[in-house]
Structure 1
Amino acid sequence: MFDSAGRKILFGVVTGTLLSSAVISVLAVDEKETHNLIDSEGRAVLTSRQEECVQTPNTPNTPPKSFKECGSIGDRDGDGIPDDEDMCPDNTPEEISKGVYQDGPKKGCPIDTDNDGVPDYRDDCPNNTPLEISKGVDDRGCPLDSDGDGVPDYRDKCPGTPRGAAVDEDGCPIEGPSQAPVVFSSEALFDFDKSNLRPDGRKALDEFLSHKDIELVHSITVIGHTDPTGTDSYNMTLSKKRAATVANYLKSRLPATAQIISEGRGEKQLVERLPGESQKAWHQRCRRVEVGVKEYKRKQ
């Protein structure tokens, strides 16, 4: 090797080996990159020193190739797996903190002990059973609890529980105490002989709902009644229409999970007439709509 006019000249001759690269290569003084010299069979050309190979500048033998025998195959993420065998060669210290696979198709990748798709280094539940992950896991690697009731989906028999409802060990909501139905005078809700809600009627129903825990309403039953004036069939039809009108209005204000039932009973269940009560006053009390509500118990 000698300098000539600011250039460094490298003569490469290896006895008994036909070099596939040019035996004379020129490397500018300010160039730093060199590569392992390989022979015609694609093997690295070794020097007399252990894990050292003949280096050459950029030649027809590029792109450069690394060789174990040259000590040029590293472990850049420090996980103990050589880069040429590492399926995840650029792990961060956090990613390898719980270990990496030592063999197989995921060699060098973060271990996922329970095979839930969340590697151990960020898995809060790293030892899930197949049953526990059968309904999926969250981004922390723990069994999904879709309705947030504290009972994971894989053993939740009522997965659609309303938020905030108390549940039993199976994840099913617990019903709250029974409530007496609220009675609305038909005059407060409808015009005479009509089944369309008056503005005051909507306000009355909104006021009624304002005292309920809307999200925990399980079901509502609406029953319409009439007075004995008119025919049985007419009264039955009118009571059904009025009950349906109230039910539909309440449904529009409640969660989709709430069950709404409406029923018309016509004049079949008249209220008892009070002593000395006028017929007009009695008929007015008979014309009514009863609304019964069932709510789930709230979680403490």
Structure 2
Amino acid sequence: MSSASVSPHGFTGVRGRGYRAEQVDRFVAGLSQERDEAWERAARLTVLAKEMEAAAVALGEQVAALAPQTYESLGARAQTLITLATEEAEGLRSEALAAAQRLYDEAGAAERALRDAARTDADAVRAAADAYAQELLAGAQGTSDELRIGSRRDAKQWRGESLGVLREMRARTADLLAELEKEQGERGEAAEHELASREADFEARHTELISRAEARLAEAQRALSVTEEQARHGQEDAEARGAELIAQARVRAERVERETERVLRENTEAQEELRAHMAHVRSSLASLTGKAPAEG
């Protein structure tokens, strides 16, 4: 069964599409050309009828303006010829007027017929164009519905796929975070053990240094006491030597005391710096593992 049909106006209908646009354009162009030609013919006939009517009126006015001719001075034969000519002229005039009237009537009828035909053709073309537009609109609506349904179906499918990918990414991220937290926890514990060991070593070293400094200070003080005692019990010639020894002992004791204070100060500063560093490391580990930092 053919999908195309021929309309009463010569259009070939296409299923789901209406008339072809180029076919409608050709038909409308042909009707427009025929209408223009008919209007041109009607215009020429109207002008010709008006010209002939004007000529007939002018001839009638000229004849009416002429004085009556008696032709009495002419002979009987001449009068007969004149009478025949006059009668023939009257007949020709009547025929010309009748022909002009017929042409005028025919031109009017042709004009009306052409106007009616043009109106009929225009109505037919307008109806065909309306039908074509309605079919195009229906086809576009159907296509729009199909596209909308397809878009919704595709969007639903894409949303499902996106949710699946999102769930997979969340699961992988959770696994990675768990593994990272485990690794960081192990590293944090190792770092805490190492820091505790270093802190213990530092405390032991600090205690040892303090003990050694205090021992050296005590030794210097004992030497100073012995020297002072010897100086008190020595002879006069040894008083000068004793004073010198006392001065040297005092200088040595002061130097040892300053050295001890410097060592103690440096060790205290190093201990504070180490404690601050350990606190910073513990805070960093706590922020990575999400656990509260352990008390130092």
Give the TM bin, normalised by the shorter chain: under 0.3
TM-score by length of 1: 0.24
Structure in which a larger fraction of residues adopt strand: 1
Q: Which structure would you say has the larger Rg? A: 2
Q: Name which structure has the greater RCO, CA cutoff 8 Å, separation 6+.
A: 2
TM-score by length of 2: 0.24
Structure in which a larger fraction of residues adopt helix: 2
